[in-house]
Amino acid sequence: HCVEMSGTPPYLPYVEIIEEVISSPRSPAALREALGDVAAEIARIAPALRRAFPDIPPPIELPAELARRYVWNSFSEFMGRAAQRQPLLLVLEDLHWAGESTVLLTEYLAPLLPDMPVLVLGTYRDDEVDLNHPLARVIGQLGRRRLMEQVSLHRLSFDGVRAMLRALAGQPAPEQLAQVIDRETEGNPFFVEEVYLHLVESGVLLDQLGQLRADLRLEEVSVPESIRLVLGQRLGHLAASTREVLIAAGVFGRVFATELVGEVADADSDALVEAFDEAERARLVAPGRVPGELMFSHELIRQTLLSGVSAVKRERLHLRASEAISRRYSDDLEAHAADLAYHLSNAGNAGDRASLVRYLMVAGDRAFDAAAFNDSVGHFEHALALIPVSDELGRAELLERLAMALRSVGRWEDALRTMNEALDHYEALGRAADIGRLGWAMVYQLTWNGQLVEAVAVCRRAMAPLGDTASADKARLLSALGRALSASGDYPTAVATF
């Protein structure tokens, strides 16, 4: 699933697929065989693999501009090997909420699929994908290259609505009932089911023997005007304690850990079990992919729950969620940095800003290590907007991180401008070692771009604070300076520099 949340882990639906395989009863040996020699790269995006297979070595150290493509290539190798055992169908749900990393990996895989026994099926709501949506660009490109087939799911016909009602009720639906539900839902299958459940719970649809009433009058079928009202009325049948638990679950997203919800809702174990039991009977939640995890049956259910909650209460719930995660995973907070950043971002003024900045930086670093550079840029830019101006060293280090992420997504000019700003901070602080490291990165980028005059200027600027000290960064800068001088035709000076 893709989810409507900021700060989700990179490549989320693909990571879920891998985690599903890890937790399934299939042979672990088959998974390890499919991973082969790219296990280290796949573990970049799915760290759970390292818990399942402690023998996975560390990933290869590569320049950032190569790391992302190497991860993608490794994933295609992994998928190809897995498909040799049996054909694969990968289903990516709700791509209208997909992060940039998911969209780009899917785009990369598409040309390779014709040579594999693999089908990737993606679902999305076309009314949520406008021309500026990243998915629209990929759909357009893949369509022109005939690498995908687009299937529009039309609304059900009247006969389809009638057939669906028969399946739901286990008996033929009266004509009048089918006509009313068809008109009110316009054949949307999800709406049909929700309206049917609403009528059942309202007590007007079935007689005492559980049969659909043949004498149902039109005025008795109080079909709501909108699906949100349907859901709201269905939720209104729940016990107040169950609604409070589900609201607490809603702040975690569509999928949630039941124990964390108990802490946020301040519900004891018995109350929690009763609440989730009632919600599952009402088909509002369903079991998740791992023990101790549940998920809302539809994202609209979660949105409806939260839409009825005040902004102040939502902020308090997000704060309690961050505290619950901090307590539960105190020995491994970095692995949950993105979740903590999400909740603290939505906790309003009650959230600790310093903690938010720290978790945004960790989330940015983890996204960078997973070659999800667009996600990394987003985390670092968010942190930069929050870090105090007085924290000059913190801003310098954050600017340097942001610059490397910008460079990795091809935003060369933005990267160089950000590097220059970070270098100004380091110079003001007299941080010679940092100046040498960042100066080398700037020179590397400028030389790559063919901006030799600028590269020479930065080399000399960065070497000045280093003085006569010997260091790896100074050696790199001298080498880069010699290369730039050589490329510009000043061979004697270049030889002396080398």
Q: Which two tokens stand for residue 420?
A: 């220059």
**Residue partners of 164: CB distance under 8 A and separation at least 6:** 156, 189, 192, 193
Question: Taking Cα atoms as reference points, which of 140, 115, 135, 113 lies closest to residue 125?
Answer: 135
Each residue's pLDDT tens digit, 343-394? 999 998 888 899 999 999 999 999 998 888 988 999 999 999 999 989 999 9
Residue 220: the pLDDT is: 54
Q: Which two tokens stand for residue 452?
A: 């030799």
- Of 225-229, 237-241, 398-402, the least confident: 225-229
**Residue partners of 441: CB distance under 8 A and separation at least 6:** 400, 403, 404, 419
Q: Which two tokens stand for residue 434?
A: 């940092």
Please classify residue 240 by burial: count the beta carbons closer than 10 Å to its beta carbon, then call 0-12 exposed, 13-18 middle and 19+ buried: exposed
CB 477 within 8 A of CB 439: yes
Residue 414 backbone dihedrals phi, psi, to 5 degrees: -60, -40
Mean pLDDT, the chain, rounded, equals 88
Per DSSP bridges, beta strands 88-92 and 118-122 are parallel
Residue 217: the pLDDT is: 62
Q: What is the dihedral of CA 89, 90, 92, 98, to 10 degrees?
A: -150
Alpha helices in 251-298 (DSSP H): 258-265, 269-281
CB 226 within 8 A of CB 185: no
CB 433 within 8 A of CB 471: yes
Q: Does 420 score more than 50 pLDDT?
A: yes
One-letter identity of residue 96: H
State pTM to two decimals: 0.75
Residue 223: the pLDDT is: 47
Q: What's the CA gap between 218 and 32, in Å, rounded?
A: 60
Each residue's pLDDT tens digit, 280-324? 988 899 998 888 899 998 777 888 888 888 999 999 999 999 999
Q: Which helix (H) or strand (E) holds 358?
A: helix 353-369
Q: What's the CA gap between 329 and 341, in Å, rounded?
A: 14
Looking at the DSSP assignment, which residues form a beta bridge with residue 255?
295
Each residue's pLDDT tens digit, 145-169? 999 999 988 889 999 999 999 999 8
Question: Does residue 484 sit in helix, strand or coil?
Answer: helix
Positive or negative, the CA dihedral 372, 117, 2, 322 is negative
CB 257 within 8 A of CB 290: no
